Structure 1
Amino acid sequence: MAKNALQAQLLKAGLVDSKKANKISKQNQHAKRTGDSESLEAKKALADAQAKKLEKDQQLNQEKQRALEEKALKANIIQMIKQHQITDISGDVSYQFVDGSKVKKISITQKLYDQIVAGHVVIARLEEGYALLPRPLADRIDSKMEGFMVVSNDTSEDVLAEDDPYAAYVIPDDLMW
């Protein structure tokens, strides 16, 4: 009656009766025929694992999409800077500015120097060099992505503190050292 050696040993030991052994063997045969050999817990674990994998894949895709959009925006901004930069800048006046922790120097005309000091022209980072841009375009670029503007002299942001003891002493912005 017993189908396998384990059932035979259980029958001999008296731990299982023959009716119970037949019932278990019939359940096993039925499970094999219908394909229900996997338990419900295994199916649930598999479904959970698939859901987690799907969520992780969606997050990775969103990160890749954001990176692609940022790269496209950066390329668009560089193209805008190249198209609208002021090209006639070579002159005999040098303008020094700070980029990060380094002091940089460009030679420009006196008219451009005055416009930079007044805030009408902005110095922007362009690949390895710098470009001079009109103020409205620079503001539009800065609203899209920050990090391109190096020098932006905006006179409207100069607010004096009320308790500043040196408020009466005006320091000119265009000092030549």
Structure 2
Amino acid sequence: MVKNALQAQLLKAGLVDNKKAKKLSKQAQHDKRTGQSDEAELKAKIEQDQKVKVEKDQSLNMEKQRVLEEKALKAAILQMIDQHKIKDTDGDNVYQFIDENKIKKVYINQQVYNALVAGSLVIGKKEADDYGFLPKALAERINDKMQGFILVNNSENNEQITDEEDPYAAYVIPDDLMW
């Protein structure tokens, strides 16, 4: 009458009666025939796990794609700096600027020096100690794409608006003093 050893032990302990044991065994047989036991729950869990895995894979792929696009943009900017930098800048004039909290010196000719001070040229950083002198228009395009490559842009300093009530407004303070 009892088909399961566990049911026999439960009956002996008095935890279930014969009617309940028969009902449970019939329910187990019905579930086994119809396949409605734990398989439905298992399938739902597998489906949910697959959805979670797909979402995770998509987010990882998007992150990898973003990193690759950033690398490609950096490479394109470095190529632009290399192609458009002004060559033949060596000279006797010293121009100092700040790069990563360190003062850097470059020796340039007078024409490049004047252009840097006037703001028509800017200093762009290619690598650790490799700098290029770029036209202002190109520097603006580079800054629009990604920040951090343009170190010195004096055109912003030259466009300062003076206060009308300033008693020293008529006196121009040169920023290109040679000591």
SS of corresponding position for 1:160: coil
Q: What letter matches 1:148 in structure 2? A: F
Give the Cα separation in 2 of the matches to 1:157 and 1:50: 58
User: 1:157 aligns to what?
Assistant: 159
The percent of aligned pairs where both chains have the same amino acid is 60
Give, in whole Å, the separation in 2 of the partners of 1:100 and 1:8: 80
Q: CA separation in 1, counterparts of 2:161 and 2:36?
A: 77
CA distances 1:66-117 after superposition (whole Å, capped 9, x unpaired): 1111111000100111111111111121111111311111111111111111
Does 2:116 match 1:134?
A: no
- Look up the equivalent residue of 1:57 and give its one-letter code: D
In structure 1, give the amino acid aligned to 2:25: S
Structure 1 residues 26-175: aligned runs within 5 Å: 26-38=26-38, 46-128=46-128, 129-155=130-156, 157-161=159-163, 166-175=168-177
Map Cα deviations across residues 47-70 of structure 1 (whole Å, 9 max, x no partner).
544444433333222222111111
- Equivalent-residue separation in structure 1 for 2:163 and 2:49 (angstroms): 60
Match for 1:150: what amino acid?
L
Matches of 1:18 and 1:91, distance apart in 2? 106
CA RMSD across the alignment: 2.5
Which consecutive unaligned segments of at least 5 residues does structure 2 have? none
Query: How has the CA–CA distance of structure 1 residues 32 and 117 changed in structure 2, closer, same or farther, with 3 Å as cutoff?
Result: same
CA distance in 2, matches of 1:159, 1:109: 30
Give the Cα–Cα distance (whole angstroms) in 2 for the partners of residues 56 and 171 of structure 1: 59
Moved more, 65-74 or 43-52: 43-52
Alpha carbons of 1:67 and 1:163: their partners in 2 closer, same or farther (altered >3 Å)? farther
Quote how far apart the aligned CAs of 1:138 are.
0.9
| Distance of aligned partners of 1:117 and 1:164 in 2 relative to their CA distance in 1, 3 Å threshold | same
Distance verdict in 2 for CA 1:164–1:4, change over 3 Å? farther
- Which residue, 169, 175, 178 being the options, matches 1:176? 178
> 3-state SS of the aligned residue for 2:132?
strand
C-alpha displacement of 1:20? 3.0
Task: Tell me which moved more, 83-92 or 166-175.
Answer: 166-175
Q: What TM-score results when the alignment is normalised by the length of structure 1?
A: 0.84
Distance apart, 1:28 and its partner CA: 1.6
Q: Any idea what SS the aligned residue of 1:123 has?
A: strand
The one-letter code matched in structure 2 to 1:38 is D
Which ranges of structure 1 fall in alignment gaps of 5 or more residues? Answer: none
Deviation at 1:133, TM superposition (A): 0.7
C-alpha displacement of 1:163: 6.4
Cα separation, partners in 2 of 1:8 and 1:106, compared to 1, 3 Å: same
TM (norm. structure 2) is 0.83
